[in-house]
Structure 1
Amino acid sequence: MQTNSSAKKSKHILGLVIVDGVGYRNFLLSDFVNQSLNTFDEVVIFSGLPSESFEMQERANVSIVELPVFQESGKTWFWRKAKEVAHMQLHKYNFAGIDYNLQKNYPITKTKRALITKMIFRITSVFHSEKWINRFYRNQVSSFKKDEVTKVYSELLKREELDLLFFTHQRPPYLAPLDYAAKKLGIKTCSFLFSWDNLPSKGRMAAPFDSFLVWSDLMKKELHFFYPETKKQPVEVVGTPQFEPYVLDRYTSSKEDFYHKFELDPDLKTICYSCGDASTSKNDPFYIEVIAKLMEQNKLIEKVNFLVRTSPAEDGSRFKEVNKRFSFIKWNYPKWELTRKDHPEPWSQRVPLPEDLKDLRSFLKYCNLNINMCSTMSLDFMLFDKPVINPTFGTGENDLYDDQKYLRYSHYERVLESGAVAIVKNEEELVREINFSLKNPEARLKEQKELLELQIGKPLKGTSQRIAENLNEFSKA
């Protein structure tokens, strides 16, 4: 008679690490789990979200394991911070995004943690080579390998007898002890680089994973540059599941339903302003007000509907005044439920409902023009052949938050160079570009197609299947 252990051992099992609501959307609301079950016998989801968030995902051969929250000790924090800051010190001169984030990390207070951080900055200003970064990481591992949560991670992984542990994000700190536990058990690890700006504008990733999946050849080249050791590791271009729901039938809706749901005039074109989060896109309320005033003053070439979608990472309270002042603006507050309040990063605990993806797809399909401040949403709307305008009025010397700095980030410099979007730096340029885009919606279509090909290396259709097949190959290598 076969025991449970030996029965499980004969199975081909994928561990899937979901750290936040974005990972949930990308890998649970796409076709990824279904496709994974074509190549693996079981999928075990290791979740940084409450297990009840996955009730709708439970099915045969899919199980949920809620990860205990890993709290860094002082030593772990020190070495992790040294690793991240050293990485930014190494690349700050060539990458404006990294330099800006490095400056933002420098403390201005005089608390004990601030003083230690300043000491880390001084140390890493000298010792920041790849050799030193790896040394800092080894010290980080030494500081957490006997931690009780690390031991629990090891026990959970050992129980499931995985063939591969797939990380859907590469940055959260608690991934380091999870990767360490997997390696100690001989479980292969793979990480997906989940955003187009994570390499050229952020600090060191959490751990040295065994293999990687990336969006495009461009991202693969960036990975090899920032992490030279990956040249010897498996790295495959798969596209991104972030956009796959746009080609899945279950997220489609009719134009009539779209206009009815958001109370829009079906005889008018629709401008959609999509917001960033409050920390990086602080001028959103200002831009929304500017556009609303242009409409009131009849400065646009035609009457339009004005629809605003706020960021899923916030509750929309910062738009209270502009909402009250302009009653004709229609608002969409993304349907992402907050699953846990008492968490170090509560924004990460927001989980999307399928209805929200359906709403978003309807915006992309039926709106005529998108305006956003240099966000990934530029790519979303381009996928539906819609013109995009990026307002960046803030200089750091006027009364606005300095958002022109984002134009110097390497991932967005490529957007500028491509000519795929209109960058506007004042009200006159904004009204001119709105009118031009309403009249000439396909003027930048060629440039948009070229940019999408550069940034997203594969067709949207079949993304999950490609990922699952590559993970299967990694697990057997």
Structure 2
Amino acid sequence: MSNKKIFILLPDGVGLRNFAFTDFYTRGKVATEMDFIFWNNTPFDLSKMGYEEIKLQQKKPSLFLEVLKNARNGIELNCNIRKAKDNVYDSYRFPFSYASFKSRIKSYTIHFLIQLFDSEKGLKKLRNLIKKTERKTNFYSESYALLKMQKPALVFCTNQRISLAIAPLLAAQDLKIPTGTFIFSWDNLPKGTMVVETDFYFVWSSHMKKELLYYYPYINENQIIVTGTPQFENHFQKDNIIDKEIFFKQNGLDSSKKYICYSGDDITTSPYDPNYLLDVIKAVRVLNKKGIQLGVVFRRCPVDFSDRFDSILEENKDIVTAIIPNWVKVGEEWNTILPTKDDFILQLNIIAHTELVVNLGSSMVFDYAAHKKPCAYMNYNPVTSDSLSAVDKIYNYIHFRSMPDDAVVWLNSPDEIADKIELMLSDEALKVVEKAQEWFEKINQHPAEEASERIWEAIDKICKKEIC
């Protein structure tokens, strides 16, 4: 194709992390002669970063499209249960809302559509209905006209789960422009979150490729490209690591102490996160009495703006220091809380200057594995809890079934936290790190620092029709 433009579709802020705030763009300039244009539906002005962009002016999906998307998700989970004979997929469902008249109508309609189309054949009909509906929208017409004028060689979508991306991708396909999408997270495919359908699918690993073929049998093997994800590349950019003394001074840390990191989860995943943090603080006090001299760096989940940690942080200033993620809140929904490029450097330095990380089932295990440092998972319910917050539900999720034995240190009760942290500070941690690295290599194609190059190499081949 003579045109050398690549459209990088950002339907929401999730794709910024991987494709705007990493070196993905600059590496593309080296790897290919193509021009890159961000088709941008986020509030970020990417032109200030020197990127060429076309703004979508904050388009939003219609209510009907959201109903169809949620019905599709429900049917996919039903199909997964029948296929795998495993009820774990029920745990991925979001509760329906009946709080208002509008929400009740929406929920009843989704229920009706799930019952109407609840089979593999029905799912195919619903997928076609979504496409038919979107082709009738003004957004489709606008996208079609723009693409017809611009004639890009490829439209690359940064997120497979956003319904807003359906119309522009359909317009591209109807114009015979190749399309691709990136599966943006390691746990997405079992959840039934696939919304877009493209010519090519970029995945983290061979493991994810197998998942994609299992959950979406209409996708052919030659449509799937294993690349890894750019989100871990910053850990290998050692020039961005600040001198320890400077970092400690900037963040009010005590240079006489070693620090462990407590990495928070969102309030839905871990409603008892403050309890876990407090248990870790108490364990550190025990260790400090033994003369080990530790502190805790608390990095909250970037989409958690609650005050639920405030009293614990205030009452334990001598032990714990909060370092606030450098994200920007531009709306109330989780996907309107957006990362910044500076936060990559901040996260890198927190990891570089702490000894280990503690959390509830977070992918931070891989960030620390990239630095050859261990991770501990909280593995108990700190208070009487319902089934929605029980840790046995968390660790039964499909993505944890890929974990080798002993890839993390399990904290099974508050009483054993101190001893296990002490163990993680010794040479015994090397065994855990080795297993974590094995898990990391299964989840994400290695070398991890070359993901962007692999993506651009595949894009270049698609544009040259060497992959089709």
TM-score by length of 1: 0.89
- Whether the aligned pair in 2 keeps the contact of 1:107 and 1:117 (CA below 8 Å) is yes
CA distance in 2, matches of 1:272, 1:51: 30
CA distance in 1, matches of 2:189, 2:382: 25
- Whether the aligned pair in 1 keeps the contact of 2:286 and 2:418 (CA below 8 Å) is no
- Residue identity in the other structure for 2:375: V
- Residue identity in the other structure for 1:465: E
CA distance in 2, matches of 1:157, 1:272: 47
Match of 2:251 in 1: 262
Match of 1:419 in 2: 406
- Residue identity in the other structure for 2:327: W
- Residue identity in the other structure for 2:232: F
Q: 1:42 to 1:225 in 2, by over 3 A?
A: same
CA distance in 2, matches of 1:177, 1:395: 46
Per-residue CA deviation, residues 198-253 of structure 1 (Å, 9 max, x unaligned), is 012x2241121110111111000000001112225421111110101111245222
- Whether the aligned pair in 2 keeps the contact of 1:395 and 1:401 (CA below 8 Å) is no
Structure 2 residue 132 is the aligned partner of structure 1 residue 142? yes
3-state secondary structure, aligned to 1:178: helix
Cα drift, residue 320 of structure 1: 1.5
CA distance in 2, matches of 1:232, 1:129: 23
- Residue identity in the other structure for 2:41: G
Per-residue CA deviation, residues 159-200 of structure 1 (Å, 9 max, x unaligned), is 321110111110011111121121122211101111100012
3-state secondary structure, aligned to 2:242: coil
3-state secondary structure, aligned to 1:43: strand
Question: For 1:101, which of 67, 70, 92 is the aligned residue?
Answer: 92
Q: 1:355 to 1:75 in 2, by over 3 A?
A: closer
Cα drift, residue 377 of structure 1: 0.7
- Whether the aligned pair in 2 keeps the contact of 1:96 and 1:409 (CA below 8 Å) is no
Structure 2 residue 325 is the aligned partner of structure 1 residue 334? yes
- Whether the aligned pair in 1 keeps the contact of 2:47 and 2:53 (CA below 8 Å) is no
Cα drift, residue 307 of structure 1: 0.5
Match of 2:183 in 1: 193
Question: For 1:350, which of 330, 333, 337 is the aligned residue?
Answer: 337
- Residue identity in the other structure for 1:464: S
Number of positions where the alignment pairs a residue of Structure 1 with one of Structure 2: 458
Question: For 2:431, which of 431, 443, 447 is the aligned residue?
Answer: 443
Question: For 2:311, which of 310, 318, 321 is the aligned residue?
Answer: 321
Question: For 2:235, which of 246, 261, 265 is the aligned residue?
Answer: 246
Structure 2 residue 374 is the aligned partner of structure 1 residue 387? yes
Identify the range of structure 1 (167-176 vs 87-96) with the bigger mean alpha-carbon deviation. Answer: 87-96
3-state secondary structure, aligned to 1:170: coil
Structure 2 residue 179 is the aligned partner of structure 1 residue 179? no
- Whether the aligned pair in 2 keeps the contact of 1:107 and 1:118 (CA below 8 Å) is no
Cα drift, residue 325 of structure 1: 1.5
- Whether the aligned pair in 1 keeps the contact of 2:276 and 2:382 (CA below 8 Å) is no
- Whether the aligned pair in 2 keeps the contact of 1:215 and 1:456 (CA below 8 Å) is yes
CA distance in 1, matches of 2:115, 2:39: 37
Identify the range of structure 1 (234-243 vs 312-321) with the bigger mean alpha-carbon deviation. Answer: 312-321
Q: Write out aligned runs for 1:113-262 (5 A).
A: 113-114=103-104, 116-118=106-108, 120-121=110-111, 124=114, 127-200=117-190, 202-262=191-251
Structure 2 residue 17 is the aligned partner of structure 1 residue 30? no
- Residue identity in the other structure for 1:337: V
The CA RMSD over aligned residues, in Å, is 2.5
CA distance in 1, matches of 2:90, 2:283: 36
Cα drift, residue 285 of structure 1: 1.2
CA distance in 2, matches of 1:313, 1:382: 23
CA distance in 1, matches of 2:124, 2:25: 34
Cα drift, residue 426 of structure 1: 1.7
Match of 1:6 in 2: none
- Whether the aligned pair in 1 keeps the contact of 2:22 and 2:341 (CA below 8 Å) is no
- Residue identity in the other structure for 1:244: E
Per-residue CA deviation, residues 412-433 of structure 1 (Å, 9 max, x unaligned), is 1332x43110222321232332
Match of 2:39 in 1: 46
Q: 1:249 to 1:398 in 2, by over 3 A?
A: closer
Identify the range of structure 1 (386-395 vs 267-276) with the bigger mean alpha-carbon deviation. Answer: 386-395
TM-score by length of 2: 0.90
Question: For 1:367, which of 354, 361, 382 is the aligned residue?
Answer: 354
Q: Write out aligned runs for 1:3-82 (5 A).
A: 10-37=2-29, 38-52=31-45, 54-58=46-50, 62-82=51-71
- Whether the aligned pair in 1 keeps the contact of 2:275 and 2:382 (CA below 8 Å) is no
Match of 2:444 in 1: 456
Q: 1:96 to 1:32 in 2, by over 3 A?
A: farther
Q: 1:83 to 1:395 in 2, by over 3 A?
A: farther
Per-residue CA deviation, residues 358-406 of structure 1 (Å, 9 max, x unaligned), is 1211122221111011011111111111111111322895479323311
- Whether the aligned pair in 2 keeps the contact of 1:252 and 1:361 (CA below 8 Å) is yes
- Whether the aligned pair in 2 keeps the contact of 1:294 and 1:300 (CA below 8 Å) is no
Match of 1:90 in 2: 79
CA distance in 1, matches of 2:257, 2:425: 11
Match of 2:457 in 1: 469
- Residue identity in the other structure for 1:138: N
CA distance in 2, matches of 1:320, 1:397: 22
Identify the range of structure 1 (39-48 vs 365-374) with the bigger mean alpha-carbon deviation. Answer: 39-48
- Residue identity in the other structure for 1:471: I
3-state secondary structure, aligned to 1:187: coil
